[in-house]
Amino acid sequence: HGEKIPVMSFPKDHCANYTFDALPGHLSTVRKTFWKFLKNIFNKKGKQRMFKLGTYLRKRYAMFLSDNPDELSVQSSSLDRCQESAALVVAGLYPPKGRQIWNTELMWQPISIRYQALEDDGVINIIFVLFDVIKILFRQMLNAASPCPNWFKELEKVQKSTKYTEYISRNKIFYEFLTTKTGLNVTDVNLAELVSEILSDASVNGCEMPNWVNESVWSLLQESTTQTYFYPFSTKRLLQLKAGYLIKYSNVYT
């Protein structure tokens, strides 16, 4: 998804009361504070980036794509910001032409976006269970009725593996440092990634990084982000289970 206004915060967030423009254009006078109470609000840059991605894909694959959006199946997670991103991408990818134009003042045409409820989505949303801080919100995905219970069992093995636990141990001092600076009880790579996301979103929206985030700290935070996307696919079995569910889903809708 594109850049967004921060939707989460931590107790010692120096940007918690930062005032910013919530909406672009003629609504720019609308101001909001306390980011932790906001819900998935795209900023102007995020919207522009997603639309430009669509126009880029149109140019890049011009010899492959037609002007008919029915040739495309669009899949998003159920998160608002992801659905909005998908809508902006396809808007740039399939601008209406000829008989498709229904409003000359709005060069846009509606294109359906498919998504599943969070607890039923084994293709996209499944990765979010890694974040222990919000795992309770996805508890339904951990039971036998989840899309791929074997994937979760395999992931738990990885999280209990020597390689993973040693990585957590090596970074214990760094996690304690983050806990002191943020007021959030950072105990693993997933919570460190959460801190990285909050700081990054704040910076994109004009609030400077706190002075304790130097080059070394930022490098470690970025490494945490990388690791949260590495471990879910770090074994052959995890790759098989994830790819298998995707192929199964694709066969149903193609």
DSSP class per residue in 114-177: B---GGG-SSSGGGGGG-GGGGGGGGGGGSTTSS-HHHHHHHHHHHTSHHHHHHHHHTHHHHHH
Residue 142 CB: number of other CB atoms within 10 A? 15
Four-CA torsion 125, 126, 131, 135, nearest 10 degrees: 100
Measured distance CA(38)–CA(201) in Å, rounded: 13
Q: pLDDT digit string (tens) for 23-52?
A: 333 323 333 433 444 445 667 788 898 999
Same domain, residue pair 142 and 246: yes
Same domain, residue pair 81 and 167: no
Same domain, residue pair 108 and 162: no
Kindly report the average pLDDT of the chain as a whole number: 77
Domain count, the chain: 2
Residue 194 has pLDDT above 80, yes or no: yes
Range of the domain at 59: 52-115
Structure tokens at 165: 């636990």
More confident call, 100 vs 247: 100
pLDDT band of residue 118 (cuts 50, 70, 90) is low
pLDDT band of residue 240 (cuts 50, 70, 90) is confident
- Residue that terminates a domain, selected from 115, 139, 159: 115
More confident call, 180 vs 150: 180
**210 in a structural domain:** yes
Distance of CA 84 to the CA centre of its chain: 12
Same domain, residue pair 128 and 247: yes
Q: Are 29 and 22 in contact (CB under 8 A)?
A: no
Same domain, residue pair 88 and 159: no
Q: pLDDT digit string (tens) for 153-179?
A: 888 888 889 999 999 999 999 999 999
pTM, whole model, 2 decimals?
Answer: 0.69
**138 in a structural domain:** yes
Same domain, residue pair 79 and 201: no
**109 in a structural domain:** yes
- Cα torsion angle, 141, 143, 149, 151, sign: positive
